[in-house]
Every structure is written in structure tokens, then in C-alpha cells.
A and B are shown apart, each in its own frame.
Chain A
Amino acid sequence: MTEPLSFDVTRLPSPHLNDSHEAWRQTVRAFVDREISPHVNEWDEAGAFPRELHKKAAAAGLIGLGFPEEYGGISDGVDVFHSLIAAEELARAGSGGLVAGLMTHGIGLPPIIALGSEELKQRIAPAVLAGDKLIALCVTEPSGGSDVANLKTKAVKKNGGYIVNGEKTFITSGRRADYLTVAVRTGSGGAGGLSFLLIEADRPGITRTPLKKMGWWMSDTASIHFDDVAVPAENLIGQENAGFAGIVANFNMERLSMAAQAVAFARVCIEDAAAWARDRQTFGKPLAKHQVIRHKFAEMTRMTNATQSYLDHCAWRVMKGESPVAELSLLKVQATRTMEFCAREAMQILGGAGFMRGCRVERIYREVRVMAIGGGSEEIMNDLAARQMGL
């Protein structure tokens, strides 16, 4: 008997995974089954998940994963694939908003780890990795997110520190965060005039406004306004005007992780659509027995298989220490296209039931766009890759 199509069946075996990866998968899965899956619908409708989840996730090892041991992280014996398994298993709950909100430190903290002073790292990282404090990354501005090099929020030197003025928007965990990793302009125009500042969110002059969204409801997304916010000099992350490196510090893992989530969301769509298609009777037989529907499953599986293999390839290169920028860009596009396709096809298979709130496919369908826009949009990713093709 062949096994029925499911989340696990659609995961191609990978030559890069060993026993510790599989054991880790069991841990994350148990965590998700116990702490997350039973609540996702309720949390999404409520527009928030409990803050304590960060502590619980930290205790299970999810928050520290991949960060250096000396700051409370877990890095001994850990490779890229442990992180991707975490992303994939978290995505299995069928809520990107949950992953984005729970794992915001995955983009907020790396600039500090990559560039920050020892004092700054010791001051910030342990509390974040213990799940006690939340940190957000503030790059995007109302005037644009793709063209990062031209951002406008200004930090001016004064009394040995900085005065910050400007506005950030679409910031994940923007209102919950205790710490903000903020890209600011300290120098002239372009990428060479950017710096990163660590700004405590309770500093006077900061106002935060919640934003309503198409999806990712349980994730806190906000605009953050900086009005003459005084920031001490020791909060500068790395060197002045060398902040672009902090943005780059996020690229590899953010793209790999978003790709891993996107394929996992696609597999969730396949699983739920397959369960429905086996059960649902139309025209006297199960949906799954109609050729038009069967071919949808073949196509969806073809897409997830190809994407998973490409993901494994890219992750393996990152694990070896490479930074294959063009491949990672194309991978992200491939992964979100796969998610988009599978969400669409699964919705068709579910019919009207899929349009009703409270199922994973409906939520994933609403979350496709943010996956294809955030963390480097499709257009920007393709452009980045094309520039390296000697055209």
C-alpha cells in the first residue's frame, strides 16, 4: 500500500540530514503540536499570540538556535539544516504570522552579532535568546523598502550620542519589541552613509502605531515614528557608515529560512487538499479520483520536490561557508512561487470550504503575498540574480 499524500510524504529525503536533525525535528514537532497548532485559529482571529510563547520556545531551544553559545545561543554541533528544520516544522502549524512574530530576533539580532561591540552583544543578546526580551529589525520606511541604500531616517551626532528622526514602517514585532535594530543615515547618500543603531523602544520620542493587514494577523506589524530620539553612542552597532554590512548579515539565513517556510506551507496545502480530495464526493466519486484534480497533486508535488532539492543545494553551499547570492535570490522566488501555486490549487480543491476562515489553506493563501514581497521581493530577487549573469 502506498502511503497517502501528506506533509511528511511530500518531504524528499535529504542526504544532509542525520540523526540529530531528525531528533530535533521531533522536538520542534512536539512543541508545535502542543503549544501552537491547537491555538493558531484563535490567535489569528485575536490578532496576537501570547508573549510567553517566546519563553517556552527559548526553553525548547528554538530561539537560541544558530546563535553563539557565549551569548546564550546554541551553536555547538548545529548547522544550517537544524535551523531550516525549525522553520519548516514551525510552518507546519500553517501560520506565517506565528513564525514571523516568534522568530523576529532572527533578523533583529544578527546585525548585532555580526557587527556589534562585545559590550553591546553581552547587554542585548542573552535576554533576547532567553525569550525575555524581544527585538525587531527596522529597515523599511514609508518611502520605500526595496531601495534600502536610500533610506532617510537620520541620526545626527549630538552631545556624544545621536538624535534620531524619521519613520519606519511594516515592522514585525514593532509594538512588542523591547529593542529596535534601526538602520539610519549617518553620512552622505547611498549605502556608504548607513549605520545601525540599537534603540531601546521605551526611549522618549518613539511612537508606535499598529497596522492592519491582509494576512499574518497574529504578527504585530507597526509603523514606528522617531521624533528627536536621543541614543547614546555606545548603541552604535559596529562602525559608523558601515551599516550596510548589517543588512547583508541577514541575507543568507533570511532567504533560506523563508524558502524553507514557503515549501513547508506548500506541503501543508498539499496535505490538507489531499485529505479533502480523498473524502469529498462529487459526481459519484471522491474528488481525488477525478483526473483534473489528480493532476493538480502531481503538479504541486513536482513543484515542492524541485524547490526542496534546490533549497537543500543552497543550504549545503551556505553550510560550506559560501554566500551564493544569486542562487539564494532565485531560490526565494522559486519557493514563494511554489507556495503561491500550491495555495491556489489547494484552494480550488477545497472549493467553498477553503474560502471559509479557520483552515490552514485559507490562511496560507492570504499569506502568499507577504512571503513574495517581504525579505526581498520577487522583482528585486530576480534583478539581483540577473545582474550576476553577465548579460
Chain B
Amino acid sequence: MKILVPVKRVIDYNVKVRVKSDQSGVDLANVKMSMNPFDEIAVEEAVRLKEAGTAEEIVAVSIGPEKAQDQLRQALAMGADRAILIKTEETVEPLAVAKLLKKVVEEESPELVILGKQAIDDDSNQTGQMLAALLGWAQGTFASKVNLADGKIDVTREIDGGLQTVSLKLPAIVTTDLRLNEPRYASLPNIMKAKKKPLDVKEIGDYGVDVAPRLETLKVTEPPKREAGVKVESVAELVDKLKNEAGVL
């Protein structure tokens, strides 16, 4: 079985994001970029399936700038077999990403696509679902556990009320939640080996997909600064404030 794992280059989760002074977006100049953490979980899950003998090949794919090769190399160092970069310097919205991934799926014929449930930069949480719809495949989103056997995959999903397990026929789409696994570190020998694994670089134009953005960003602003808390002198004052200022009592 072949598994396709899309990975996205995003601003590192440790970076304190700063909004550009013209409010057109966040400042990415000289900012540390990393693989989207949910995608690391996706790669890890694919590698575990391969180690368990369930999968034979893992293909990582990224749609993004030239530098997204770093994230693909990381996926290769974690255990993916080869990688595809669909190169673009533009922002690509979830629908366009899903359309491009559909093309890749048609070329590669994987039986399983494992994606992060969302990317931590725009938090869209759409790509996996859109890809499933475009392909007409079953989907198991927010996976906290997957079990693959006998041509079907059981996905335990984290939903508001608790856990739900869905059984999907292959081929299928799975999106990962935080608790699915703890991704491994790319060890140094594997970093070295990853340099020799194939990484195909394609142009976004090669796919004949309309990737024009549907959304227009009007402005990006900092979240409002949290006001400092107040100290109250007595319980009576606290109750008074809860009643008359916060209106929660």
C-alpha cells in the first residue's frame, strides 16, 4: 500500500508572530519556519504503518516555496521514501491545495492520504475534507487512533462529546489530531540518508489547476491586548463586580 502525506511549511509554533505595519499579513522575514506540527504527526503515523508492514511506500508532498524542500527533507528523514514539491511563491488556499492534491493522488494512486487536521498558520481545517469530497473518498478527520486491517481503516475521532470510531473503506482520507502519536526526531543518520532520497520539484503550472485565490484579505491586526486584572479588597466587592460589571451573577 502506498500512503501520501501532504506537509506544509509554516511559521514555527514557538515564534511570537508579528503583524506587518501595513496590516497586509504577518511578518515572515527572517522568521523560523517549520513543518506544520499536525503534518509531523501525519508523517509519523505513515512511518508507523510502514514499520508495521502495512504500507510499502510513503510519498510526502508539499505545495509551497522552494524552501519547503527543508520540510520535505525532514519528512524523508523521518521515514518517507520520496517527496514531491509543487513550487509556488504565492499563497494557495485550501480548495486549490485540495485540487492539486487530487491531481497528485491521480498520478500516484495511494490508498491512503494522511493530512494534518489543520495548518497552524491559517487554521483553515478544510484541505482534508475538500480533498475527500473531490475524490469521492471516505474521510476520518481528527484522528486520535487509526487501525488498518482487511482493506478498511478504523479511525477513532476526537469529537466534542468524546470519541467516535468510524470504519472507512479504502481508499480513504485521514486527518490527524494532536493525540494520535508523538512524532519521532529526525536522527542524524536519517538526515544524511534523506539527502539521497528522491525529491521531485514541479511547477504549480504543470498541473493545470485554477489556483487563483477566492478570498481577499482586508487586513490583519494584532489581537487586542489583555487588560491587567484587578485586585478586590473583599468578597463583597468581588460579588458586586461579578454582578454589576461582569454580569455573570
Contact = CB atoms under 8 A, between A and B. Distances in A.
Interface of A: 1, 3, 8, 19-20, 22-24, 26-27, 30-31, 33, 59-61, 65, 74, 76-78, 82
B191 A20 contact: yes
A125 to B, nearest CB: 17
A65 B185 contact: no
Q: Which of A3, A27, A59, A65 has the most CB of B within 10 A?
A: A27
A24 B191 contact: yes
A139 to B, nearest CB: 29
Interface in B95-128: none
B30 A27 contact: no
A74 B185 CA distance: 15
Contacts, number: 52
A74 B188 contact: yes
A221 to B, nearest CB: 29
B73 interface: yes
19 contacts: A1-B18, A23-B74, A23-B191, A24-B188, A26-B74, A27-B186, A27-B187, A27-B188, A27-B191, A30-B185, A31-B185, A33-B14, A59-B185, A60-B185, A61-B185, A61-B188, A74-B187, A76-B189, A82-B188
Nearest to A8: B32
Contact of B192 (A8, A20, A30): A20
Grouping DSSP codes into helix (H, G, I), strand (E, B) and loop, the A interface class, with mixed when no group exceeds half, is helix
A352 B194 CA distance: 49
A24 to B, nearest CB: 5
B234 interface: no
B37 to A, nearest CB: 10
Contacts of B27: 1
Contacts of A33: 14
B244 interface: no
Given A19-B73, A23-B74, A23-B77, A78 B18 contact: no
Q: Which of B73, B74, B186 has the most CB of A within 10 A?
A: B186
Interface string B159-181: 00000000000000000000000
A3 B194 CA distance: 32
B28 to A, nearest CB: 12
A26 B73 CA distance: 12
